A and B are shown apart, each in its own frame.
Chain A
């Protein structure tokens, strides 16, 4: 069997002297599928993405254990030169705010051409023609005109389409999308999801989508990884997790989304909320990190951290999960 598009095994990232930002994170993303990574800010979602890209934001952050394999090849053991080559041809990333990742001084065409020629030597004219095709493929009308425009002349939705076109220029097997639609209006978000899905169907790209929006996960993902305070607390197929979440944190996340209810209420109802906030790195103690906010927690939860357990394919890290770890 071919190796998965992405395998992350026991990944641990430490912030020098303070603590573990990621603590034993493991998951796999099969080729051509979509994996949603959900959790609140500060849970380690974006750190996981940056570690996979090997774009650590600070030298104080160090990977102290674990392995990251992209299409079977280790990202950690690759030389910096090889990693640079892999970014673009094997894996690529799009960010929440396209404006900060596009260079305001170059035209859209120039920037896509740069991504194309980084992966494949070809004359500028041919690369520009290919850039036009890519813009057409991500649903930008009149690509010829938009190639000559600067990022500030585009709407937010079009900028994100340009980012997708640039990311897919080298036909990578893995696309990491970090909150790709959070800054966009809901109708434009739906269009971007359509584009991502169409490109996935055409190119067979695996997508790792980081989001805090369970609705986006329901629309896009095949599998879900729920993270809390640097750990995976639940992982499984999207249908199972949305229907019968096993970890209390997942349950809380699903319950507190004010999604479009089937029935409406006569008055502003009290919304289910998760009390408190994600603990700061320095405040993380041994024991389950969610215990201080958990309605089910008892003394044991505060003392020992539950392992990720259960049948392969659907696991949760909770002492109170009947199919999970035994005390």
Chain B
């Protein structure tokens, strides 16, 4: 479906913040804090796929976990389907878990090796208490068929499956409670390319069939460009650029977004000439001792004195396109 600004928001965050205190080296040391997520405000419209991209340590997974209330936010607010769920707990929080589920990156470590996979998929239903035992088993069998496995597979153990099949099990488990929103945390990064396409096609069908909203976390810009409707680029805990997919990839504005896009190796079928690699220098600074100015300034080829002194805020560059950079109007 095509989202318009009027489409209701499935997820909305305002100034979301997650900080982790670090153990002090001595009682006299200044307390150190890691700013994993630092003021993230996003809106994910119902029925769309919203991508969060960035390198390791950019805070993309922590943002998703905070939205799911699997990681306590230290600041900001979260709305799911218009309801403020920032302080939900107890049964109300469990009720929320029905509506928002997650597919993990690694189908090897996210399944209990000693548990039959049918039971693993049934577990969310058992925990939240949906339906009776017979209904749950029937429902799980249907889910297995829907994700391309056989009901007979339910009695097997995770090691008896290939990586792609395990990810199908992970998808079945995420869909067991019939959620409206699914967080996909690098769902195909651990898989072979040929299998990646199979899993992405399955996710596409399921999205259409169940009207799902995806929050899709990835460092693979090729995939994000193909499947996401809107994309937020994160760098060291902050959103540095956000736009719809067409705009972001056709007219990236932030120097970090440009560097990310330029770093993707391209298969150039025309000519097959090798393009020189355009590598952006350096690596992200430590999230503990953050520079006062723009966090990308130390790696930015265009950085000015102002960039090192003053942090840029995310502001509108064009309708629906926001950039946090002093050098972009």
On whether the beta carbons of B266 and A215 are closer than 8 Å, the reply is yes
On whether the beta carbons of A190 and B263 are closer than 8 Å, the reply is yes
Specify which chain A residues have a CB less than 8 angstroms from the CB of B271 in the assembled complex.
239, 243
Specify which chain B residues have a CB less than 8 angstroms from the CB of A168 in the assembled complex.
none
Report Cα–Cα, A272/B198, bound state, in Å.
8
- Is A46's beta carbon under 8 Å from chain B? no
Specify which chain B residues have a CB less than 8 angstroms from the CB of A260 in the assembled complex.
221-222, 225, 249, 261, 264, 266
- Is A266's beta carbon under 8 Å from chain B? yes
For window 240-265 of B, CB contacts with A under 8 Å fall at 245-246, 249-250, 259-265
For window 176-218 of A, CB contacts with B under 8 Å fall at 185-191, 193-194, 197, 212-216, 218
Which of A50-58, A273-281, A316-324 is the interface stretch? A273-281
Name the distance in Å between A246's Cβ and chain B's nearest Cβ: 14
On whether the beta carbons of B222 and A239 are closer than 8 Å, the reply is no
Interface string of B262-275 (1 = CB under 8 A from A): 11111111111111
Specify which chain B residues have a CB less than 8 angstroms from the CB of A189 in the assembled complex.
263, 265
Interface centre among B197, B219, B262, B283 (most CB of A within 10 A): B197
Specify which chain B residues have a CB less than 8 angstroms from the CB of A185 in the assembled complex.
55-56, 219
Report Cα–Cα, A269/B223, bound state, in Å.
11
Measured CB to CB, the nearest residue on chain B to A238 is B272
On whether the beta carbons of A187 and B260 are closer than 8 Å, the reply is yes
- Is B43's beta carbon under 8 Å from chain A? no
* Chain A interface bracket (under 10, 10 to 19, 20 to 34, 35 or more): 35 or more
* Chain B interface bracket (under 10, 10 to 19, 20 to 34, 35 or more): 35 or more
Name the distance in Å between B250's Cβ and chain A's nearest Cβ: 8
Specify which chain A residues have a CB less than 8 angstroms from the CB of B260 in the assembled complex.
186-187
- Is B93's beta carbon under 8 Å from chain A? no
Specify which chain A residues have a CB less than 8 angstroms from the CB of B267 in the assembled complex.
214-215, 218, 242, 254, 257, 259
Task: Report if A264-B263 is in contact (Cβ < 8 Å); known contacts: A185-B219, A212-B192, A258-B223.
Answer: no
- Is B99's beta carbon under 8 Å from chain A? no
Report Cα–Cα, A237/B273, bound state, in Å.
11
Report Cα–Cα, A216/B268, bound state, in Å.
11
On whether the beta carbons of A261 and B280 are closer than 8 Å, the reply is no
Measured CB to CB, the nearest residue on chain A to B299 is A187
Report Cα–Cα, A157/B283, bound state, in Å.
8
Report Cα–Cα, A243/B2, bound state, in Å.
34
Which of B113-121, B151-159, B199-207 is the interface stretch? B199-207
For window 54-105 of A, CB contacts with B under 8 Å fall at none
Task: Report if A194-B279 is in contact (Cβ < 8 Å); known contacts: A186-B55, A213-B265, A274-B197.
Answer: yes
- Is B328's beta carbon under 8 Å from chain A? no
Task: Report if A40-B194 is in contact (Cβ < 8 Å); known contacts: A186-B263, A258-B222, A261-B226.
Answer: yes
Across the A-B interface, the 6 shortest Cβ-Cβ residue pairs: A239-B272, A215-B265, A273-B197, A190-B279, A185-B55, A256-B197
Can you list 18 A-B pairs, Cβ within 8 angstroms, ordered by A? A40-B194, A187-B55, A187-B259, A187-B260, A187-B263, A187-B280, A188-B283, A213-B193, A214-B193, A214-B267, A215-B265, A218-B265, A218-B274, A256-B197, A259-B222, A260-B264, A264-B249, A274-B197
Interface residues of B (CB under 8 A from A): 2, 49, 55-56, 162-164, 192-198, 200-201, 204, 207, 219-223, 225-227, 245-246, 249-250, 259-275, 277-281, 283
**Extra pairs beyond A220-B274, A259-B267 (7, CB < 8 Å):** A157-B283, A193-B279, A219-B277, A238-B272, A258-B226, A261-B225, A275-B198
